[in-house]
Every structure is written in C-alpha cells, then in structure tokens.
Amino acid sequence: MNLRIALIPLEGGDPFEVAKEMVVVGRQEECELRLDHKSVSKAHCVLVKTDGLLVLRDLGSTNGTRVNGTRVRRAALLPNDKVSFANCHFQVHIGPRELPIADANERTIGVDGHNGLLDGDDSDEEPSLGIQRNELPDVYPDDSPKKKRKR
C-alpha cells in the first residue's frame, strides 16, 4: 500500500507532506521542514520514514520534542499522534494516498492520543489500521523534584 505521511499544523495552515525518506525539522534554511519560531532549535529533530512508520529523533533541541504530551528523545509516530517541536504543534497523518487529508481541527483526539476507535471497532467513521502502540523507553524521566536520600 502506498501511504501518505503528513504533519498537519494544529494552529491551521497547509499540511507538510513527508515525501523524503529523511526530513530535518528546524529553524535553519537548510531544513526540509523549516519552522521560523524562536522556540525551535536550528536543527531540532529528524523524521525518518521506514516500513510505513514515521520515526522521530530529537537532535538535542533546547525546548524539546513531545509526542502526545510526553517529552521524547526518539519515538515511532502513529496516525493521529500529536507531535510538538518546542511550541509548534502538529497532528500526524498516515493513511492511503488516495484519501484526502482531514483538517486536524475537524478530528477529535482523545486524551490518550487516539481518535476514539479501537482495533476491531465496527464504526463506519474511519478504517482501523490495526496498529498497536509500542511505547519506547526513550522518554525523559519524570521532571518532578526528587527527594534526596540520606547516606
């Protein structure tokens, strides 16, 4: 199946088609996805298409990269995931090339980042891709202050 992979800006605007196998996201002119915002690092992160998945790797950005609200070093992005490059927010679209891309503001995304459909859901609204979430261990530890142990 020929998949269309795109990032849809949550603040409105045209979707960014991820056409190349590797896309650098950042503030520099050389970046394939250039985000002209002071919170975005010059070379913020890289997106790699592999086997129908979109894999993200943060490049040591100052303000971080988040997937569904969790700061990550790297992650596999799934359809309808919310990804944030510092203060720039997008929804991930992965689907058949022949289907149009829905506006991110027209979809409802649940708290868990899913569109409300479960594998095996008989709803006619949107076909299930049968993808299971596999959480990667490469998330940042909890940022809450830790109590120091006495030795």
CA distance 139 to 146: 17
> What letter does residue 13 receive in the DSSP assignment?
S
For position 107, what pLDDT does the model report? 42
Per-range mean pLDDT, top range of 97-101, 108-112, 135-139: 97-101
* 110 class by beta-carbon count within 10 Å (0-12 exposed, 13-18 middle, 19+ buried): exposed
Mean predicted confidence (pLDDT) in 31-50: 94
Can you give 65-122 as a three-state secondary structure string?
EEECCEEECEEEECCCCEEEECCEEEEEEEEECCCCCCCHHHCCCCCCCCCCCCCCCC
- Identify the sign of the CA torsion 111, 113, 119, 124: positive
What are 90's strand-pairing partners? Answer: 9, 83
Range of weakest confidence among 40-49, 60-69, 88-97: 88-97
pTM: 0.66
Report the chain's C-alpha Rg in angstroms: 16
**Residue of higher predicted confidence among 118 and 97:** 97
CB 55 within 8 A of CB 77: yes
Residue 34 has pLDDT above 80, yes or no: yes
Instruction: Output the six-digit token pair for 39.
Output: 């919170």
